[in-house]
Structure 1
Amino acid sequence: MTKRPYTGSCQCGAIAFQVEADLDQTVTCNCSRCRRLGSVLAMVPAADFMLTADGPTTEYRFAGHVISHRFCPTCGIQPYSLGEKDGEAIVAINVNCLDGVDPRALESFHYDGAAA
C-alpha cells in the first residue's frame, strides 16, 4: 500500500481531519497508555495532516511529556497525537478513527513501549 488520503474523526465529530497516510506502516504499542486504548497508529509528517473540525481538545502528556495526546472532552476519543521525530513535527493518527478502515485487518509493527 502507498500513501493515500483518508478522513477521520472522534466519535461525536467535534474533531475531524484529513490525512495522507501509508497504512502498511502502522504500529501497535504496549505502553501503559496504548495498551489501555487499543491504539493502532500511523505516523505521518505534520504537513500530511489537516484538521477539518477543530473542536476543543484536551491534552494528556505522560512519561517523558514529549507527546501531546489530544482527545475530545465530549466523547473521550483520542484521534491523534502530536510529537517530533528527528527534529520534524509528526502526527500519530489513531487508525481506529479513520473512516472505512478496519485497523485489526492491518499487519502492524509491534513496538515494546512497556520496555522503553
Structure 2
Amino acid sequence: MSKEYKGRCHCGSVQFNVVADLNNCFKCNCSFCVRRASTLVKVEDSKFTLESDENNLGKYGSRDFSDHFFCKNCGIQCYTRFKNEKGTSVILNVGCLEGVDSYSLNPVTFDGAKKL
C-alpha cells in the first residue's frame, strides 16, 4: 500500500516528498548500486516532489537513461531519475525516508548487472 513520506539527505540540504509502496523495494546488483548498498524503491515521477533548491544537488554516474542525484554538502545519494519508453520515474534511496527502517524491509534483487 502506498504511503506519503518525507525524505532528506543526512544534512537536510536535500528534501523531498514522495508517495511510495515500500512493499516494492529492491536492491540492484549493478556496479554503482553494489557500492552504495542502498535499498531502493521506484515511483512514478508525479509521486515525487523535490522541496529543496536544485543547486544543492550534484550528479554522478549518469547515463542516457538515468541521472543519479546526491547532496553536494553531505554526499548522500538521494534519488535517480530514470527514463525509458514508458516515461520518467524516480528511484529513491529508502534510507533517506524519515521514519523508515530500511533494514526491516525485504527487498528483491534487480539484476541490473545484466540488464543495464
Same fold (TM over 0.5): yes
Structure 2 gaps, min length 5: none
Aligned-partner SS, 1:24: helix
| Deviations, residues 26-68 of structure 1 (Å, cap 9, x unaligned) | 0101111111111111100110000111252111135x53210
Q: 2:17, 2:48 within 8 Å by CA — same for their partners in 1?
A: yes
Q: Structure 1 residue 104 and structure 2 residue 103: aligned?
A: yes
The aligned counterpart of 2:25 is: 26
Q: 1:15, 1:56 within 8 Å by CA — same for their partners in 2?
A: yes
Identity %: 38
- The CA distance in 2 between the partners of 1:86 and 1:5, in whole Å, is 27
Q: 1:21, 1:42 within 8 Å by CA — same for their partners in 2?
A: yes
The aligned counterpart of 2:6 is: 7
Choose between structure 1 and 2: higher helix proportion: 2
Q: Look up the equivalent residue of 1:57 and give its one-letter code.
A: L
- The CA distance in 1 between the partners of 2:73 and 2:11, in whole Å, is 7
| Deviations, residues 56-86 of structure 1 (Å, cap 9, x unaligned) | 2111135x53210000111000111101244
- The CA distance in 1 between the partners of 2:65 and 2:78, in whole Å, is 17
Q: 2:16, 2:52 within 8 Å by CA — same for their partners in 1?
A: yes
Structure 1 gaps, min length 5: none
Aligned-partner SS, 1:114: helix
Q: How does 1:1-116 map to 2 (within 5 A)?
A: 2-54=1-53, 55-62=55-62, 64-116=63-115
- The CA distance in 2 between the partners of 1:97 and 1:77, in whole Å, is 9
Q: Alpha carbon RMSD of aligned pairs, Å?
A: 1.4
- The CA distance in 1 between the partners of 2:17 and 2:84, in whole Å, is 21
Q: 1:43, 1:93 within 8 Å by CA — same for their partners in 2?
A: yes
Structure 1 range deviating more: 77-86 or 32-41: 77-86
